[in-house]
Chain A
Amino acid sequence: MIVHNHEVVIIGAGMAGLRAALEVSKVGDVAVLTKVYPTRSHSGAAQGGMAAALGNLDGDNWEFHMFDTVKGSDYLGDQDAIEFMCRNAPELMYEVEHMGTPFSRTPEGKIAQRRFGGHTLNFGEKPALRACYSADYTGHVVLHCLYDQCVKNSVRFYSEFQVTYLIVKDGICRGIAAWDIRNGGLHVFNTKAVLFATGGYGRVYRITSNALANTGDGLGLALRAGLPLEDMEFVQFHPTGLYRSGILMTEGARGEGAYLLNKDGERFMKRYAPTLMELAPRDLTSRSIQTEINEGRGVQSPEQQAKGEPGDAVYLDLRHLGREKLKAVLPQIFDIAENFMGIDPAKDPVPIQPTSHYSMGGIPVTIQGRVIRDAQSTEVPGLYAAGECACVSIHGANRLGCNSTLDATFHGRHVGRTIARDLPSLSYHDLPPEAMREAQAEMNWYFDRSSGTENVADIRGELQNTMQKNVAIFREEKALTAQLDIIQNLQRRFKNIHINDRNQRFNTEVMEAYELGNLLNFVETIVVGALEREECRGAHWRTDHPGRNDVEWLKHTLAYREDGKIRLDYKPVVITRFQPKERKY
């Protein structure tokens, strides 16, 4: 076992991890660990844009942005945190531009901005032009720019290192253990501070816009170390995933004017959100699509037509935008439709269906990015989180499009500053030998599975299929309870998995199995949270408990794993400027 010392270890090299690294590297010795090469992080898949009330094209201001975010969150977002981010978003956006990110431009040479779901002027009056974009490559260019800045500042990367163990003892974070994917072998990092920036867990579901690497590793690690996860029942389904694969067709498409049509060619959103239509927030739009499908107005695939089965898609219609505009402002969408569906979106509408997309919940942190362990916000010294794996909470029960790249970059920077400030008062702590033994024993277990009989891919497939069926857009008690049994059964089967490859080097069979074990460990927090929360709020929709219930449920869920079971606790929501109101669009 190789032991390293770094004052700060950042796990993850997406927008959050990279932006934090830039900050921390100014004052301390920092190492960034990432299981995929930094530029391969899933932040690069963000297409549509990054929100900031620059007002380059209209009279936008940060208070409208704050209001929209609060309302979008179905009033579950913490308003102090939302205010802090929205107020400072313009300054952050200029910084991102100054670093060299290329942005599409207005005729006057300012950053161009487009419409996005749920972003409005004057507290809901009409759509705002708020999403700063770079064609439909926004996440990609911001990620690459941040990486370039890290190269410039000689940030130390450990690429293709998969973190497998978090060392917390006596309430203090002491370091982590990580597997060197390329050469094999466990490395232990003794640290003063650890920052989680490990991204989301879309891979819990069968249909997802997320990368294969988005398995929520950080959440599993935190939960295993005895820490809670916050608001896990809130999972965003993006309305427009490519039919079957779930690959994302950005909301920017609708921002540019695309329509949603059912099988009768009707723009059905007029029945669900007469003011914002296709630019309603994601939770509402996904439910509308799913309702169309459930009520028999879905578009059939050729196979479904042949068999006389009902359709399970609707159309995203881009035709009226014209080829030239599509190629100019949505080039990636154009390629994706062509490469993955064989469809020319200038000629034919694209079949889409809701796709699991974003985790509103995550590791609970303070506005400063310090991880907390309970409803009293007791901090865990030396442990931080930012980006999609963290829950500040900005997004509450439903995230608005373009707020996540903002969140990841903004809180990445801010937590970096927090760590820089805390560093003088943090010190190295001894690594408990039993923790190191446990970390090693766990990896040995995976390498010693040749006599197991269960297939990893089959267990993963079953988990994803059943989560898709039982814990997706519409939820009810029976299915949720059934899902808990299914998960427990899969956990049992997991103990007997088979692994063929005993090689130490580049053993992705073990890495994938590890990811599944981790998923199975925390996925119950989603289900138990959803089962207990008997109301409809944002992305969490209980058909057996209609309506939002502010009296009982205007609170954050904290989920712990104790003695093999999930225990829930609750934490109040911070409300400052905007009192909860009925949410209409």
Chain B
Amino acid sequence: MQYTLRVYRYDPESGQPGRLVDYTVELEKGATVLDALGEIKAHQDGSLVYRRSCRSGICGSCAMKINGFNRLACETQVESLGRKPIHVEPLPGFKPIKDLVVDLEPFWNNLHRTLPWLINPNPPPTDKERPQSPEEFAWLEMPMTCILCASCTSSCPSFWADRTYLGPAALNKAFRYEFDTRDQGFGQRRDTLDNRHGLWRCHTIMNCNDCCPKHIRITEEISWLKRKVVEEKY
């Protein structure tokens, strides 16, 4: 089948603003947007740039805006897309670097501000695991699947308005540790979370949930975190 992709091209060295360029490619059944980009790069224009690695939805490299919606290029079948030509643009909300590649430094910095590691001053038992019940583990099953693709944060209007807002991905990470029964880091994370650039910047607009490729219900997690912050206060 033939498909046309309308791809955002931007070269900072050219001094020109970005523009949309059409490419027509022949693709097999089941081909993904990443396959289509690969075909363009292989046989039409080698200078097209995008990030990718696993091509199986687990490394988080290839999030981009496809037909107006943030998703993973490697997981999106070309056939499944309604609008033609297929629009492929970089993740919004971050500084463009080149073509479909954006600067994710602010994303990583926000993530790191939540102290994303297990905090527990008590030494673990020797030669044994720290106990945790299946029910307690169940709280981690959803947040732990986050692949840090940045789709959610990129779609968040609160983040567009405030670059120091932690954003949904960092809050998901905070949830992952805060609701881990082995963690006791609340005292250290509280100020970052209970802050107008933290939890309280989220206005429950839900964009984040809608585009998460791992179906993480981030807004639910944010409410749990809000509840925890409030409960610990009073």
Could you tell me which A residues sit within 8 Å of B by CB distance?
36-37, 39-42, 44-45, 90-91, 93-94, 97-100, 102-112, 134-135, 137, 140-141, 144-145, 148-149, 151-152, 182, 211-213, 244-245, 247-248, 331-332, 335-336, 339-342, 455-458, 499-501, 503, 505-509
Complex CA gap A248/B60 in Å reads 17
At the interface, yes or no: B148 with Cβ under 8 Å from chain A? yes
Shortest distance between the CB of B169 and any CB in chain A (Å) = 11
Q: Are A105 and B137 in contact (CB under 8 A)?
A: yes
Q: Which residues of A contact B108 (CB under 8 A)?
A: 37
Residue of B nearest to A41 (CB): B59
Q: Which residues of B contact A108 (CB under 8 A)?
A: 131
Complex CA gap A42/B54 in Å reads 7
Contact with A along B108-133 (1 / 0, CB 8 A): 10001001111000001001111111
Q: Are B57 and A505 in contact (CB under 8 A)?
A: no
Complex CA gap A152/B129 in Å reads 21
Cross-interface CB contact of A247 among B46, B52, B55, cutoff 8 Å: B55
Cross-interface CB contact of A212 among B52, B60, B104, B147, cutoff 8 Å: B52
Q: Are B98 and A505 in contact (CB under 8 A)?
A: yes
Residue of B nearest to A132 (CB): B129
A-B contact pairs, 26 of them (CB 8 A): A37-B108, A39-B59, A39-B147, A39-B148, A42-B59, A94-B129, A99-B118, A100-B118, A107-B134, A108-B131, A134-B144, A135-B141, A140-B58, A140-B147, A148-B116, A212-B55, A213-B53, A245-B56, A248-B56, A331-B141, A332-B145, A341-B30, A342-B77, A457-B41, A458-B42, A503-B11
Residue of B nearest to A184 (CB): B13
Complex CA gap A99/B130 in Å reads 10
Complex CA gap A145/B143 in Å reads 13
Q: Which residues of B contact A37 (CB under 8 A)?
A: 61, 104, 108
Cross-interface CB contact of A340 among B13, B30, B41, B117, cutoff 8 Å: B30
Q: Are A100 and B53 in contact (CB under 8 A)?
A: no
Q: Which residues of A contact B41 (CB under 8 A)?
A: 457, 508-509
- Of B175-183, B203-211, B224-232, the segment with at least 4 beta carbons within 8 Å of chain A is B175-183
Residue of A nearest to B118 (CB): A100
At the interface, yes or no: B81 with Cβ under 8 Å from chain A? no
Q: Which of A336, A455, A505 has the most CB of B within 10 A?
A: A505
Q: Which of B43, B59, B60 has the most CB of A within 10 A?
A: B59
Residue of A nearest to B57 (CB): A339
Q: Are A505 and B46 in contact (CB under 8 A)?
A: no
Across the A-B interface, the 5 shortest Cβ-Cβ residue pairs: A100-B118, A457-B42, A501-B47, A109-B131, A509-B46
Complex CA gap A405/B43 in Å reads 37
Q: Are B59 and A36 in contact (CB under 8 A)?
A: yes
Q: Are B137 and A182 in contact (CB under 8 A)?
A: no
At the interface, yes or no: B49 with Cβ under 8 Å from chain A? yes
Q: Which residues of A contact B171 (CB under 8 A)?
A: none
Q: Are A111 and B129 in contact (CB under 8 A)?
A: yes
A94-B129, A211-B54, A503-B47 are contacts. A105–B117 as well, Cβ < 8 Å?
no
The A-B contact count (CB < 8 A) is 165
Q: Which residues of A contact B27 (CB under 8 A)?
A: none
Complex CA gap A49/B15 in Å reads 49
B87-119 interface (Cβ within 8 A of A): 97-99, 101, 104, 108, 112, 115-118
Q: Which residues of A contact B144 (CB under 8 A)?
A: 102, 134, 137, 140-141, 144
Complex CA gap A182/B49 in Å reads 11
Complex CA gap A372/B132 in Å reads 43
Q: Are A501 and B46 in contact (CB under 8 A)?
A: yes
Residue of A nearest to B103 (CB): A182
Residue of B nearest to A141 (CB): B144
A40-B60, A100-B118, A110-B129 are contacts. A45–B97 as well, Cβ < 8 Å?
no
Q: Which residues of A contact B54 (CB under 8 A)?
A: 40, 42, 44-45, 211-212
At the interface, yes or no: B18 with Cβ under 8 Å from chain A? no
- Assuming A140-B58, A339-B77, A456-B46, what are 10 further A-B pairs, CB within 8 angstroms? A40-B54, A93-B129, A102-B144, A106-B134, A134-B144, A137-B144, A148-B117, A247-B56, A456-B42, A506-B97
Q: Which residues of A contact B140 (CB under 8 A)?
A: 102
Q: Which residues of A contact B99 (CB under 8 A)?
A: 506
Cross-interface CB contact of B130 among A97, A457, A505, cutoff 8 Å: A97
Q: Are B56 and A105 in contact (CB under 8 A)?
A: no
Shortest distance between the CB of B5 and any CB in chain A (Å) = 17
At the interface, yes or no: B45 with Cβ under 8 Å from chain A? yes
Q: Which residues of A contact B194 (CB under 8 A)?
A: none
Q: Are B97 and A505 in contact (CB under 8 A)?
A: yes
Shortest distance between the CB of A210 and any CB in chain B (Å) = 9
Q: Which of A40, A90, A456 has the most CB of B within 10 A?
A: A40
Complex CA gap A98/B177 in Å reads 13
Shortest distance between the CB of A308 and any CB in chain B (Å) = 19
Q: Which residues of B contact A105 (CB under 8 A)?
A: 132-134, 136-137
Q: Which residues of B contact A182 (CB under 8 A)?
A: 97
Q: Which of B99, B124, B137 has the most CB of A within 10 A?
A: B137
Q: Which of B56, B61, B77 has the most CB of A within 10 A?
A: B56
Cross-interface CB contact of B145 among A104, A110, A140, A456, cutoff 8 Å: A140
Complex CA gap A507/B114 in Å reads 33
Q: Which residues of A contact B101 (CB under 8 A)?
A: 506
Complex CA gap A39/B127 in Å reads 28
Q: Which residues of A contact B98 (CB under 8 A)?
A: 503, 505-506
Cross-interface CB contact of A100 among B55, B75, B117, B148, cutoff 8 Å: B117
Complex CA gap A109/B124 in Å reads 15
At the interface, yes or no: B12 with Cβ under 8 Å from chain A? yes
Q: Are B13 and A40 in contact (CB under 8 A)?
A: no
Cross-interface CB contact of B47 among A110, A111, A135, A500, cutoff 8 Å: A500
Residue of A nearest to B133 (CB): A109
